[in-house]
């Protein structure tokens, strides 16, 4: 299972599959593993799934594998997440942010906005038209907020707030999102 986007507490559990009760044979993790400080990724596998690799250590090689700096960053990230209870914070914060984003989007539901959905700190706003996402992206960027569309659906604006976001930053984002939605709706209907 690929947990590069959904792992490391993003969904309110260490791994996205935890909430589903799934124990994968192979789990991939990256990006968040170092807290975004240095590039690092890992493949975690059961003994059975890893057996072909252990028989022939040269079956898989990596030019930059086992970097001491990357490994130290990964270890420090996991320790910090445990000490700061980041996963529990994401579990509590996710529903709160999802509810707030739904409230901001409510006036545009059924028109500009098709659906607001999410789990933990991975939230998507689906728009009725692809053009609306581009318009909103530009509107938000012009107001100092960086977001992106979903890579697998260009009609979805992807929100991935950090678990350590402060209330003041969240309030500013929600206010800015509301203003940007108004501006986008005016341009799309005007």
- Is the distance from CB of 176 to CB of 143 less than 8 angstroms? yes
- Please measure the distance between the N-terminal and C-terminal CA atoms of the chain and give it in whole angstroms: 45
**CATH number reported for the structural domain that contains residue 171 in this entry:** 3.90.1150.10
Do 107 and 176 have their domain in common? yes
pLDDT, residue 55, reads 82
pLDDT, residue 128, reads 96
Question: Which of 67, 83, 99 is where one domain is finished?
Answer: 83
* Percentages of the chain per state (helix, strand, coil), in multiples of 5: 50, 20, 35
- Chain segment 118-172, per-residue pLDDT in tens: 999 999 999 999 999 999 999 999 999 999 999 899 999 999 999 999 999 999 9
Do 122 and 94 have their domain in common? yes
pTM of this prediction? Answer: 0.91
Question: Which of 83, 107, 126 is where one domain is finished?
Answer: 83
Residue 180 neighbours by CB under 8 Å, 6+ apart = 136, 139, 140, 143, 145
Do 133 and 47 have their domain in common? no
Structural domain including 146 reads: 88-189
- Chain segment 53-110, per-residue pLDDT in tens: 888 777 667 777 889 999 999 999 999 999 999 999 999 999 999 999 999 999 999 9
Task: Give the Cα separation of 63 and 65 in Å (integer).
Answer: 6
pLDDT, residue 176, reads 98
**116: in domain:** yes
């Amino acid at each position: 299972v690929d947990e590069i986007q959904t792992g490391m507490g993003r969904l309110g559990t260490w791994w996205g599959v935890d909430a589903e009760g799934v124990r994968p044979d192979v789990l991939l993790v990256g990006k968040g593993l170092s807290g975004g400080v240095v590039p690092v990724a890992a493949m975690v596998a059961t003994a059975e799934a890893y057996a072909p690799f252990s028989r022939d250590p040269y079956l898989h090689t990596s030019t930059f594998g086992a970097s001491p700096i990357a490994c130290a960053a990964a270890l420090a990230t996991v320790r910090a997440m445990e000490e700061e209870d980041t996963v529990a914070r994401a579990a509590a914060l996710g529903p709160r942010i999802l509810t707030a984003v739904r409230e901001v989007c409510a006036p545009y539901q059924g028109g500009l906005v098709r659906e607001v959905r999410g789990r933990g700190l991975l939230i998507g706003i689906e728009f009725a038209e692809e053009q609306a996402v581009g318009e909103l992206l530009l509107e938000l960027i012009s107001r100092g907020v960086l977001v992106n569309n979903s890579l697998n659906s260009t009609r979805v604006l992807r929100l991935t707030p950090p678990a350590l976001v402060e209330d003041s930053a969240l309030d500013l984002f929600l206010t800015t999102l509301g203003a940007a939605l108004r501006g986008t709706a005016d341009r799309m209907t005007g």
